[in-house]
């Protein structure tokens, strides 16, 4: 990611693994993690706002850069979502599983096959559900040789798309033909055929992977501890900083005032609760759905 030094960075859909470079986090469900990593809890280690991706509560171009990793494929209306992230940021980064990865791992809650054609993200509506996805998820979790294979061929599994000013997106809402699925499965098999154990590379990879894992875990725990301390001692400053960026998600007015644990819009008279140091910038209807 080519993030300018000193840039203000937003991350949408941060889940349990926010990017270290993000300054402000947004997640629709800050208190549970159903579609992100199962039982792993949402990580809150810096300012976070609960908001809907279709109605981000921020001023136009409030951010220099926005990160959106493994979120687009969940969206029922990707065009509307993409329009929002372009509105609030000047540039950004999108990462999604490739169509080959989707066939191999088979996430039932993903709605789209994704591929990159030239410089255009192309999304195709999914028809079929999970095949052997549970098997391959278990394989990558329990066998070091398959994890090594996965990382060595990461370009086959992930699409990494960086944009500036505009996101080129094309959508095919028609369900894929059987011939298209068969061709995709053939491509997936050509990738999988290369996966096999190899004792020496596996041992070298395991040592490097464990080192990275320990370092990441230590950094994550330290950031969470520091944030928990700041949240208690500097709650007022944290919320005031976020107040300078947000607008009402109902009427887009920036005439917001805070009284205690409520943020109110002076224009439409809608109130938004603050839970801990997390502003819940969701409409009353969205709040009824839970957060």
pLDDT tens for 197-228 read 999 999 999 999 999 999 999 999 999 999 88
207, containing H or E segment: helix 199-233
Rounded CA-CA distance 287/109 in Å is 21
On the question of pLDDT at 103 being above 70, the answer is yes
Rounded CA-CA distance 57/69 in Å is 19
CB of 133 closer than 8 Å to CB of 141: no
Q: How many distinct structural domains can be found in the chain?
A: 1
Angle between helices 144-152 and 199-233 (to 10 degrees): 80
Rounded CA-CA distance 80/183 in Å is 30
Q: What is the CATH number of the domain that holds 259?
A: 2.20.25
Angle between helices 133-142 and 144-152 (to 10 degrees): 100
On the question of pLDDT at 39 being above 80, the answer is no
Rounded CA-CA distance 246/195 in Å is 47
On the question of pLDDT at 155 being above 60, the answer is yes
Residue 142 token pair: 């329990």
Confidence of residue 75 (pLDDT cuts 50, 70, 90): very high
Is 281 within a domain? Answer: yes
pLDDT digits (tens, 9 = 90+) for 241-250: 888 899 999 9
Rounded CA-CA distance 139/135 in Å is 6
- φ/ψ region of 177 (left if φ > 0, alpha if ψ in -120 to 50, else beta) reads beta
Is 5 within a domain? Answer: no
**How confident is the prediction for the chain on average, in pLDDT?**
89
Output phi, psi for 275, to 5 deg.
-105, 110
* Minimum mean pLDDT range among 125-129, 167-171, 201-205, 217-221: 125-129
Is 252 within a domain? Answer: yes
The residue segments making up the domain with residue 278 are 234-288
Rounded CA-CA distance 289/276 in Å is 20
On the question of pLDDT at 104 being above 90, the answer is no
Give how far Cα 223 sits from Cα of 47, 218, 227, 229, 275, Å: 12, 9, 6, 10, 20
Closest CA to 16 of 153, 217, 274: 217
Is 275 within a domain? Answer: yes
Is 40 within a domain? Answer: no
Is 258 within a domain? Answer: yes
Specify the DSSP class assigned to residue 28: S
Is 260 within a domain? Answer: yes
Is 259 within a domain? Answer: yes
Collect all residues with Cβ–Cβ distance below 8 Å to 250 and sequence separation of at least 6: 265, 268, 270, 283
Output phi, psi for 117, to 5 deg.
-115, 105
Residue 182 token pair: 């068969």
Compute the average pLDDT of residues 27-51: 80
Helix (H, G, I), strand (E, B) or coil at 103: helix
């Amino acid at each position: 990611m080519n993030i300018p030094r000193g840039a203000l960075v937003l991350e949408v859909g941060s889940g349990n693994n926010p990017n270290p470079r993000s300054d402000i986090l947004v997640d629709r469900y800050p208190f549970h993690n159903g579609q992100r990593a199962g039982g792993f809890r949402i990580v809150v280690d810096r300012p976070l706002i609960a908001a809907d991706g279709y109605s981000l509560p921020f001023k136009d171009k409030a951010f220099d850069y926005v990160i959106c990793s493994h979120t687009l494929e969940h969206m029922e209306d990707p065009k509307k979502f993409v329009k929002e992230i372009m509105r609030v940021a000047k540039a950004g980064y999108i990462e999604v599983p490739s169509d080959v990865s989707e066939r191999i791992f088979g996430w039932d809650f993903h709605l789209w096959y994704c591929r990159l054609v030239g410089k255009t993200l192309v999304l195709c509506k999914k028809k079929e559900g999970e095949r052997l996805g549970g098997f391959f998820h278990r394989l990558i979790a329990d066998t070091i040789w398959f994890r090594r294979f996965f990382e060595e061929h990461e370009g086959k599994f992930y699409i990494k798309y960086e944009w500036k000013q505009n996101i080129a997106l094309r959508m095919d809402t028609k369900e894929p033909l059987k011939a298209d699925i068969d061709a995709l499965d053939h491509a997936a098999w050509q990738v999988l055929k290369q996966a096999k154990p190899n004792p020496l590379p596996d041992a070298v990879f395991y040592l490097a992977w464990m080192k990275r894992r320990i370092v990441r875990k230590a950094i994550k725990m330290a950031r969470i501890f520091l944030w928990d301390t700041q949240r208690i001692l500097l709650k007022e400053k944290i919320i005031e900083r976020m107040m300078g960026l947000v607008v009402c998600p109902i009427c887009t007015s920036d005439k917001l005032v805070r009284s205690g644990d409520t943020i109110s819009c002076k224009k439409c008279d809608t109130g938004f609760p603050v839970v801990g140091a997390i502003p819940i910038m969701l409409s009353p209807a969205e709040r009824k759905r839970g957060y």
